Amino acid sequence: MELFGQALGLGTIGLVAGVVGAVVAALATRGSTSTLTSYVQHFAAGLIIAAATLDLLPEALALGGGWPLIVGFVVGTAFMLALRAVLNRFGHGHAAGEGHDHEDHAGHGGGTALAARPQVVAGVNLRLAIALAVVVLIDGAIIGVALSAGGAAALLIAIALSIELLFVAASVAGSTRGAGGTVATAVGVGAFVAVMMPVGAVLGALVFAGVSSTLLVAGLAFGAAALLFTAVAELLVEAYEIKESAGTIAMAAGGFLLFLVLMMLM
């Protein structure tokens, strides 16, 4: 019971950070597509890619790697693809105010680009919000795994992932406001994503307490695949539709560098 209490406490740090990020982004974005949203999404993507490549995969390799890592990564990718396919079954649509005459980046008419965009309900990009919720749930599980393993770095991992969550929640809140959602809706969807952190921490502590290294490696690889998929296929794709520049690319590099520095401090 003490382990679960610790997991809940560490996960709550991320919940608070995520709500703060969602509130700031919802108030800073003025109901239209925003350069700020693109910057935040690039920064969040950099953090998520760093979490996968600097934390989860090295830990999986240190525990033995091998076929459990490969299987876990393949299953994680397949899971995210299946999740995306299920969400796409809702159909495609646009919130009020979106530009239906927008042209795609290859210079062709907007029909193809618009058809590829996910459903937007009350300003909420459902596919992005649910994908990020899954990622944050996995982040929380990482905290639970660290606690279950008796790792002294659990607090630092929670702090690093909470900083990531601040920008992830800000990203989805800014996206919601940019698609015409209200401030309350933007904060609500950001809070929905953020609450997955304490939920994941408790579940991680429950599920991974005392498991074999084989299952632990597969779980870490699964999480890495989910993080990379969301950063590349969701966050960066949506950010690119808003604005792409040297500044946004630098923000992605900055997010990666921040997580690297935090890992070095651990």
Residue 215 has pLDDT above 70, yes or no: yes
d(Cα 28, Cα 169) in Å, to the nearest integer? 13
**According to the model, what pLDDT value does residue 192 have?**
93
Residue 252 has pLDDT above 80, yes or no: yes
- pLDDT for residue 119: 57
Candidates 163, 124, 183, 181; CA nearest to 44 is 163
The per-residue pLDDT for 195 is 95
Q: Report CA-CA distances (Å) from 197 to 16, 47, 101, 163, 191.
A: 10, 16, 38, 12, 10
Nearest to 138 by CA among 48, 217, 200: 200
Helices and strands of the chain, counted as H and E runs: 12, 2
* pLDDT interval class at 241 (50, 70, 90): low
Mean pLDDT of the chain: 77
Classify residue 117 as left (phi > 0), alpha (psi -120 to 50) or beta.
beta
More confident residue, 184 or 239: 184
Q: Give the DSSP letter of residue 104.
A: P
Q: Is there a contact between 148 and 210 (Cβ–Cβ < 8 Å)?
A: yes
Identify residue 55 by its one-letter amino acid code.
Answer: D
Provide, for the chain, the percentages of residues in helix, strand and coil under a 3-state DSSP scheme, each rounded to the nearest 5.
75, 0, 20
- Lowest mean pLDDT across 12-26, 66-80, 124-138, 152-166: 152-166
Which comes out higher in pLDDT, residue 147 or 121? 147
Section 175-191 average pLDDT: 86
pLDDT tens sequence across 28-56: 876 555 677 778 778 888 888 888 888 77
d(CA 10, CA 197): 9
Q: What is the percentage of the chain residues whose pLDDT exceeds 90?
A: 17
User: Tell me, what's the pLDDT at 259?
Assistant: 84
Question: What pLDDT does residue 93 have?
Answer: 37
**What pTM was estimated for this model as a whole?**
0.69
Residue pair 78/226 in contact (Cβ under 8 Å)? The answer is no
- Distance of alpha carbon 178 from alpha carbon 155, whole angstroms: 34
105-134: pLDDT as tens digits: 444 444 434 344 555 555 677 777 888 888
* Alpha helices by DSSP H, 55-195: 57-62, 67-88, 111-115, 126-148, 154-178, 183-194
Q: Which of 112, 17, 79 is nearest to 222 (CA)?
A: 79
